Amino acid sequence: MSDPNGTDQPDPLDSFEEIIEAETTRDPDLAVIEAGSRTLRTQGGPPQADVPARPEDPEVDKALREVEAELATRWGETKLEPSVTRIAALMDVLGEPQRSYPSIHITGTNGKTSTARMIEALLGGFELRTGRYTSPHVQSITERISLDGAPISAERFVETYQDIKPYVEMVDGQQEYRLSFFEVLTGMAYAAFADAPVDVAVVEVGMGGSWDATNVIDGDVAVVTPIGLDHTDRLGGTTAEIAGEKSGIIKQDATVILAQQPVDAAQVLLKKAVEVDATVAREGLEFGVTARQVAVGGQLLTLRGLGGEYPEVYLPLHGAHQAHNAAVALAAVEAFFGVGAQRAEPLDIDTVRKAFAAVSSPGRLEVVRRSPTVVLDAAHNPAGAEATAEAVREAFDFSRLIGVVGASGDKDVRGLLEAFEPIFAEVVVTRNSSHRAMDVDELAAVAVEVFGDERVQVEPRLPDALEAAITLAEEEGEFAGGGVLVTGSVITVGEARLLLGKG
């Protein structure tokens, strides 16, 4: 390529294969990751953290805290008035920013954020400018709104809030209820994406679909990750009822990418697709995971997409559930580009491989410490816990695993603990700082019923719980393979991540 002065410079991507070939003494999968990392750094400058720390500039930090404090005065994410009336009114006064770019809309019970990150990485690999909106955040509220694969800066977050604040207050004054925390953030994301501007938005619902604040977009591609029982008080007591709510993101003439679903949920989703003339691609039929094997730091996959087979795809995430997320993400991006419809040929395999090799998903089986190994995972419902437990068995060779569990009071905590019981030698129950956190004595009572009294330790403070779990894991000896898994809530994972020096 040429610089602005016309002098020729080497294309950093040209050196990708050379870097891999030079790494003859290392594991080939690790060589691919390192090569991808180095070429991406050459392209884009210093990498930005997936989970940003507090701003170093005191003035910026103060401004961000003021915005966070103002947002905290609004309804939280668990208090809902099921309607898109308020967010639609905000979009109207903002000039419909969400109409200025195509979008991929993602719903489901588990795997939404990881799938969104994979879709974003693939689109970025094909040189599209992306905006990603996901929730909840692990540590910093700015994580929720990303541009080009990185969270927006604290400065830009504050500027975006200040830009739309007058319009938010205008809508507040016209509606029966003020805009909620999540509705304001959704408005900020859509405005930031229009301002960038992005080529495509990757949007994860907050809850449900039909009346979710994100559902003022018309997603060209609607993605439904696996549906299970969660938020049953809001969405329904069966997977079919929950699917009915989530099917609300399926719009006229869209393409629907369906992960493997319970039969009753699949029937509801397919019925909705027929009603709106949407095209459906189903995991296990039109696309899927053909082969997978454990590799260093992740897994090596063969994926079958809408346009053909994609062999030797390295994914630096653990577990069969992440392989399935990868298949869904690939199909979604193929559908976005018209593969299987307007065009028959598959996506460029090298671009696909490089994109997947660069994927990260903080707080999803994330190793944050060694000796003993400490792993963080944001599983917060039984289905998620079962997937995590299976992935731990497959990817880690722990001789003794200690669990640290801090869950929210509105979750199926018994089901969560029962899923982890076979892999935890002992469990330390605790709580995070959220007002939604389950009382630690109540959590302990359920844990004793599941694990027995001798396998349960109670530490009301998360720092003490982490210390206790690490001490228990160390009893195995330095080389015996003891480990710690921190889980139960995204908030617990985020706070543990900070305590363990990440971010």
Most confident of 43-52, 132-141, 282-291: 282-291
pLDDT, residue 137, reads 86
Residue keyed to tokens 């000039």: 95
Most confident of 181-190, 207-216, 405-414: 181-190
**Lowest mean pLDDT segment, chosen from 90-94, 370-374, 444-448:** 370-374
pLDDT, residue 79, reads 67
Ordered DSSP codes for 277-301 = T-EEEEBTTTBEEEEEEEETTEEEE
pLDDT, residue 236, reads 58
pLDDT, residue 373, reads 93
Using one digit for the tens of pLDDT, what is the confidence trace for 437-483?
999 999 999 999 999 999 999 999 999 999 999 999 998 665 568 99
Report how far residue 51's alpha carbon sits from residue 108's, in angstroms, rounded to the nearest whole number. Answer: 23
pTM of the model: 0.84
What does each C-alpha distance from 287 to 97, 189, 305, 327 come to in angstroms?
33, 31, 5, 7
Report how far residue 255's alpha carbon sits from residue 328's, in angstroms, rounded to the nearest whole number. Answer: 13
Report how far residue 415's alpha carbon sits from residue 10's, in angstroms, rounded to the nearest whole number. Answer: 55
Ordered DSSP codes for 7-53 = -B---GGGGHHHHHHH-TTS-HHHHHHHHHHHHHHHHHSSPPPSS--
pLDDT, residue 75, reads 86
For the segment 241-269, the average pLDDT, to the nearest whole number, is 93
Q: Which two tokens stand for residue 103?
A: 């979008």
Using one digit for the tens of pLDDT, what is the confidence trace for 97-125?
999 999 999 999 889 999 999 999 999 99
Asked whether the predicted pLDDT for residue 235 surpasses 70, the reply is: no
C-alpha 153: how far from chain center = 19
pLDDT, mean over the chain: 87
Burial zone of 351 (CB within 10 Å; 0-12 exposed, 13-18 middle, 19+ buried): middle
Using DSSP bridges, classify how beta strands 103-107 and 221-224 pair: parallel, antiparallel or unpaired.
Answer: parallel
More confident residue, 53 or 462: 462
Asked whether the predicted pLDDT for residue 25 surpasses 70, the reply is: no
Report how far residue 409's alpha carbon sits from residue 92's, in angstroms, rounded to the nearest whole number. Answer: 37
pLDDT, residue 5, reads 41
Residue keyed to tokens 């070429």: 39
